[in-house]
Chains A and B, each alone.
Chain A
Amino acid sequence: MLAVWFITACFGLFMAWGIIIFNRLVTARNDALNAWSQIDVQLKRRYDLIPNLVAAVKGYMEHEKEVLEDVVRARVLAMTTGRIQDKAKAEDGLSGSLKSLFMVMEKYPVLKASENVMRLQEDLVTTENRIAFARQLYNDLVANYQILCEIFPDRLVAQVFSFRQFSYFRAGTAEKETTRVELP
């Protein structure tokens, strides 16, 4: 009789342990997924802002057509890419082309005087920062989740319920190359 009770208690404890770990894994996974959706929100915001900025500065920047075209092309590329690795690369390309645009804009004092352009620029700067911070958060949470999936004994639960690994939002090659700007 005692043995039955003992075995039941052990099984109960084992179940409780499994449930706690399972819940922890699910929480970590959903935090990471949520962070990913946050990046998406900010990326969308950037897609929406870019046409406005391009329209606002186009009239002034007759000689810098290719910079503007770069931005537009990078935007289209980023919007159409689906897979996470390619997406990171495309987004970095867009960030790079935007940086060159900002640098070129420095050369036009008339743009600085325009309230509208300054406002758009501030909006884009903050969106860039938001994307960077959202990525940082996503990567932190993925790292957190990854650790939970891999440490012993949690990995046993993770393997039984096949929690899959996420990939980091890595900085692509475009980000690492410093933006080239010809000084006048």
Chain B
Amino acid sequence: MPVTFIDIERQKNWRIGVLFFFLVFLYFLFAFILVQLVVAFLPGSEIFFVGAKLKYVAAISALALTISVVHFGISGYTAVDRVVEQVRALAPDPDDGVHRQLINVMDEISIASGSRKQIQCLVIPTLSLNALAVSDLKGRALIAITEGLLSRLTREQIEAVMAHEMYHVLSGDCLDASVATSLFGLYASAAEGLKEAVAQDFRVIPFLILFRVLNSLGMIVTMFISREREYRADAGAVRMTRNPLALAEALNLISGRWTGAGCIHEGLEMLCISSPSPDIHDQTEGWWSDLMSTHPPLVKRIDILLRMARVSPSALDRKGRTRTAYQPEAETLYYALDPENVWIGPFRVTELTAFPWFSAATMLSAQPGGDVEVAETMTVADLVLDRNPAEGRGGVIMSCSSCRQPLRKESCAQTTVHRCVLCQGVLVDNDRIFRILARREITCGERTKALLLAVTADSQRSLSIRKLRLRERKTIPFARCPRCGREMFRSFYSYAFLIELDKCSICKVTWFDADELEMLQCLIENKLPETASDHIGRPQP
């Protein structure tokens, strides 16, 4: 274990060599099989085996080595440029207050790490929450953070995230991941290019298949890339900033939110702080998940950081909420007499209303054994009793998929929806969506328009329909259907209306986050401002 980051930087990296030999082996295998096939189909020649004709093997090896060197060279030296191009990262604008702060934070972290390496810092213009680090064989290194994450984190949290990425760069594991990504990214882009050519000429199909196969071999490389590196980078970040809580808060904010699926190019997962297209392996443990996934479960990472900070997860939750717009008020806690005549509690008023048996006649008390009152007579009663909590299948209380608060039945455009009291997200039955939209009772305010503009511009930019189809029907591990508890699928409302929604295909319900229903209404009614078409598809300077 190196003592300082300066020492880490001085160390030579051996894993990159392993990667190179893997590539040579891969090409050797391919060339060998290819020659075998050609020989087998040529008339008048017999199949030869390894060792049978040494000069063939030597020739194939030489060929494999040459191709590998060229391929490795190209991808190793262009890794940073390729990623910059793919995510469309821009240099931070020194006239922008937030960006100026980012530049300063970057310098601070540079000092904390004691590194003399020049590391570029860029901003990715997207609303998703993510950050990534790339470095290449030229010695260039780059840390990029999305505009979405930048705007939602406090100064300390940005510092923690940047320190995490900085550790990736300094420890050298970023170089392995970057080169691996770039190696197989070349195949992916070659396959992409050939797919266009297929329409004109059918003879390129074998090459297309070849590149596809090679690309899927890239999966093997993700197995080399250990999940442990994320834990190590978290620990390294804490060593630089001495602030585990800030990193835990930042990860907590990222978890369960849009981390850039579809916007951050597929295949860049390894470089990101949290996987942009999370699948189930990213949230589970065990040897299979360890093998298949590049990121450990966020929950576990947060847990480790919180233990370092000696803070309980619930405190983080409270803190996380105060940071956002929601300010919890000091609420009175009540004990309640349940149907079996047992005092239970204490509960908040919102929690009490979640019980199916809670009614105006329920006995309440401020402390166990204290003065007992009927719920009806309490001042909170008016607020609570006229609203019924929504029941899911089998009488289970439905709770919000993101904040776990009970959902309340509510009337929207004369039909019933279930709204979360905390985050204002809405659960709507699929067949009711059209009713709500058709009735046009939701008004379209300035705020909605602005949100809509940002969201659709973000979704449309750089996305072809094909890419959209690819990302359809992916499970979102954090969002569970409030009704049945199964994982929901995240997909667009339609390809014409690019608003991302979580759907449960079994219960036939759709979860709209706060404002999403309004935005959809607004979009469908075509209430976009006049200038909208100018903005969409073009990143804001």
Contacts and interface: CB of A to CB of B under 8 A. Distances in A.
A141 B97 contact: no
6 contacts: A42-B111, A123-B104, A129-B159, A134-B111, A137-B114, A141-B114
A136 B5 CA distance: 13
Interface residues of B, number: 19
A129 B114 contact: no
A136 B105 CA distance: 16
Given A126-B104, A144-B4, A31 B114 contact: yes
B499 to A, nearest CB: 36
A35 B114 CA distance: 7
B525 interface: no
Contacts of B97: 118, 122
B108 A126 contact: yes
Contact of A31 (B6, B107, B240, B242): B6
Nearest to A144: B3
Nearest to B242: A136
A129 B4 contact: no
Interface string A5-27: 00000000000000000000000
B210 interface: no
Given A38-B111, A133-B111, A141 B104 contact: no
Interface string B78-111: 0000000000000000000100110011011101
A133 B240 CA distance: 8
A27 B474 CA distance: 52
Given A31-B6, A141-B4, A136 B112 contact: yes
A161 to B, nearest CB: 21
Contacts of A122: 97, 100-101, 104
Contacts of A144: 3-4
B155 to A, nearest CB: 8
Q: Sort chain A's interface into a size bin.
A: 10 to 19
A-B pairs, 9 with minimum CB distance: A126-B104, A133-B112, A133-B111, A137-B114, A129-B108, A144-B3, A134-B111, A130-B111, A130-B108
Nearest to B10: A27
Contacts of A140: 4, 114
Contacts of B4: 31, 137, 140-141, 144
Contacts of B101: 122, 126
Contact of B108 (A35, A119, A123, A133): A133
B107 A126 contact: yes
Interface string A119-152: 1001101100110011011001100100000000
A140 B105 CA distance: 20
A146 to B, nearest CB: 11
Nearest to A39: B111
A137 B113 CA distance: 7
Interface string A83-124: 000000000000000000000000000000000001100110
Most buried by A among B100, B101, B113, B114: B114
Contacts of B111: 38, 42, 130, 133-134, 137
Contacts of B3: 144
B319 to A, nearest CB: 21
A129 B97 CA distance: 17
A36 to B, nearest CB: 12
B367 to A, nearest CB: 34
A134 B111 CA distance: 6
A38 B6 CA distance: 14
Nearest to A115: B97
B8 to A, nearest CB: 13
Contacts of B6: 31, 141
B121 to A, nearest CB: 14
A131 to B, nearest CB: 9
Interface string B137-163: 000000000000000000100010000
A119 B103 CA distance: 13
Contacts of B112: 133, 136-137
Interface string B317-348: 00000000000000000000000000000000
A129 B240 CA distance: 12
A118 B100 CA distance: 12
A38 B107 CA distance: 12
B242 to A, nearest CB: 7
A109 to B, nearest CB: 17
Interface string A55-75: 000000000000000000000
Contacts of B240: 133
A137 B104 CA distance: 18
A136 B107 CA distance: 15
Contacts of A118: 97
A64 B4 CA distance: 44
Contacts of A141: 4, 6, 114
A155 B242 CA distance: 30
A148 B192 CA distance: 55
Contacts of B100: 119, 122
Nearest to A118: B97
A141 B113 CA distance: 11
A129 B246 CA distance: 15
A144 B1 CA distance: 13
Contacts of A38: 111
A126 B155 CA distance: 10
Contacts of A123: 104
A134 B240 CA distance: 11
Contacts of A42: 111
A138 B351 CA distance: 52
B89 to A, nearest CB: 22
A123 B242 CA distance: 22
Nearest to A141: B4
Given A31-B6, A144-B3, A130 B107 contact: yes
